[in-house]
Structure 1
């Protein structure tokens, strides 16, 4: 039987590790450029980049903006296996999170690991405390939903410590762009693009959006939505965009916020909502102001959660892979722990579930 061919990028991974082990590359040494490595190994730049990204995720290399890639400034200190995995999510309510956790737990249990679950409630200070506690106790790996991923990462020092200690880490739902950890998420750009496209196909041209500003998903969905409007030569009007933060949800759409939502949607025929939770609240605002859904305003959303059938009209929404997302994240973490290759970025494509909240005009 022929031995399975090793992926090409592993040739680069093994070679760089050997150079470090032989002291041909030392702490702080600058790695050759991607072009130089590509020429030396006879491989594409994309293959070389995949190899260096894996070494970054393992804490062996570190990328310095505008300078290059270097051998990490601290050696990875081996630690005794704990058979514990830290899992950090922003929330854990009856929405999509229980299914995501089930997917993670199933794979961890199959591999003999226990899960330490923590919740940040999308608060930076909570993420700080949780990361500090997990690093102090020791874990064999981490699965993390980043907190306020649309804002600068205020816990960068702790994530650098995770890298230095060689703790395998996988992000879910979003990623901190400064970090090179693998991640598993919806293709949020394509989600925003697909939502706008669906409304355009229904002859809508006055399309508003209600999006979250402190999480990366909101930024990417906005970018996809804006891209599709531009493609169809529709004017992007900022006065039709409502941005909200985690703290706005804490006050449950206070009256002034409801007024802002209605004011910006008043002359629109359709709206793209950040998720089902927001869509349900937006629909309540519209109904309160005597707008008919979908005859006056069509509403489209994301997640296909249990909330999608709880509004005045069934919600047209894009499915979230939920349990499958958790499963893939845990499988990739297991690969990292075993020093096996895994995909740096897994993005699930949007799949529409049509109900009654969108109509053709």
Structure 2
């Protein structure tokens, strides 16, 4: 259990980092903090004293305690160049390749790298953004957390901007911030997945989409667009949405139910949010002795190492993983090294990669029953 003075200190520091306390603004009084946390005056003074020592606060005799001017306090004390990378995951799935691409380029350019993984969790994102604001790196590469939803940590991103710490976003972005970003045209990717199956004669196509991330909502939009353009009736039961918290369970349960009900129209094609999900569903199909692609075709997304790890090689959408990492590194260095306002006004353009379908053996022409 944390010491009581640490809890009080972290509360005050969090208010400073998210911009609630502005430079030279008076913070809560000792009495208010005592009442809020049910602690002694000694505990409150210990917490405030720590932050005064660290340069976050200053006191005026008889007036109270005030937030220090962070812009003056945050000056570089060494020639070491640092870039922070915050991603939803580090070693899982395609993320290690993205990070490897970024780290390799940054290292060649003389930058140290600090890595943080949010596990697609807002509280983790908050803690790491606060740590980044304390460390004050030269720049930050960020993969946003649950990018399709309203983010509770926007004030921390705004504080990055206030402190003139450049950042870019990869894979997705928070639309309200309008950051420089590097993404794939995920709507087109979802369209290509679905169009491929339609061209193979499939009409009963299930789409699985993770909808707490922007990628998933856009891939679903592409799926719907392809069905509409080809005049294929949209079956609401064939649109399966899920979130990060139930990604390992809900899709399997829903597919199992659809395949088990005798009176239902049986799907002949599956569009997957990513390759990880495709492998999960392939395992279920194998258990049910449904042969891929003879009885059902399946398309993944990301062209990850998983696409060729199974006995069924996945048709999938290419993700330029290492290139994305390298491009992100180049972009953040460009922002860091062109710091004066006249140069910054020539804002870097965001990058949107064109998706490409990679054909393998998980899809085939449907055999029409007579």
TM-score tier, shorter chain, comes to: 0.7 to 0.9
Q: Secondary structure at the match of 2:116?
A: strand
> Once the 2 structures are TM-superposed, how far is the Cα of residue 263 of structure 1 from its aligned partner?
2.6
1:119-268 alignment, distance < 5 Å:
119-249=117-247, 252-253=248-249, 258-264=252-258, 267-268=266-267
| C-alpha displacement of 1:330 | 1.1
Aligned to 1:351: 356
Superimposed CA distance per residue, residues 134-175 of structure 1 (whole angstroms, 9 cap, x where no aligned partner): 101211100000011111111011011011111110101000
User: SS of the counterpart of 1:296?
Assistant: coil
TM-score normalized by the length of structure 1: 0.75
- Measured in 2, the distance between the counterparts of 1:307 and 1:348 equals 21
Q: Partner of 1:326 in structure 2?
A: 325
Structure 1 distance, partners of 2:322, 2:113, is 16
Kindly report the root-mean-square deviation, in angstroms, between the aligned alpha carbons of the 2 structures.
Answer: 2.0
TM-score (norm 2): 0.73
8 Å Cα contact 2:317/2:355 also seen in 1: yes
Pick the aligned partner of 1:90 from 72, 88, 95. Answer: 88
Inter-partner Cα distance in structure 1 for 2:270 and 2:105: 38
User: Residue 302 of structure 1 aligns to a residue in which SS?
Assistant: coil
Partner of 1:317: 316
Q: CA deviation at 1:257?
A: 5.3
The DSSP-based 3-state class of the residue aligned with 2:209 is: strand
> Aligned pairs, how many?
284
Q: Distance in 1 between matches of 2:272 and 2:326?
A: 27
Structure 1 unmatched ranges of 5 or more: 1-73
Q: Is the 8 A contact 1:191 1:224 kept in 2?
A: yes
Q: What residue number does 1:302 align with?
A: 301
8 A contact 1:242–1:264 mirrored in 2? no
- Summarize deviations over 1:231-274 as a string: whole Å, max 9, x none: 1111222210111211114xx32xx7533122346611101001
Q: Does the Cα contact within 8 Å between 2:240 and 2:251 map onto a contact in 1? A: no
In our comparison, the structure showing a higher alpha carbon Rg is: 2
The unaligned stretches of length 5 or more in structure 2 are 1-68, 261-265
**Alignment equivalent of 2:101, drawn from 100, 103, 124:** 103
Q: Closer, same or farther in 2 for the Cα pair 1:329/1:257, shift >3 Å?
A: closer
Which residue of structure 2 lines up, in the alignment, with residue 21 of structure 1? none
CA distance in 1, matches of 2:259, 2:238: 6
Distance 1:150 1:193 in 2: 19
Contact 1:209 1:272 in 2 (8 A): yes
Report how far residue 311 of structure 1 moved.
2.6
**Deviation at residue 190 of structure 1 after TM alignment:** 0.9
Find the aligned partners of 1:311 and 1:197 in 2 and give their Cα distance. Answer: 24
| TM superposition shift of 1:192 | 0.4
Give yes or no for contact 2:208–2:251 (8 Å, CA) kept in 1: no
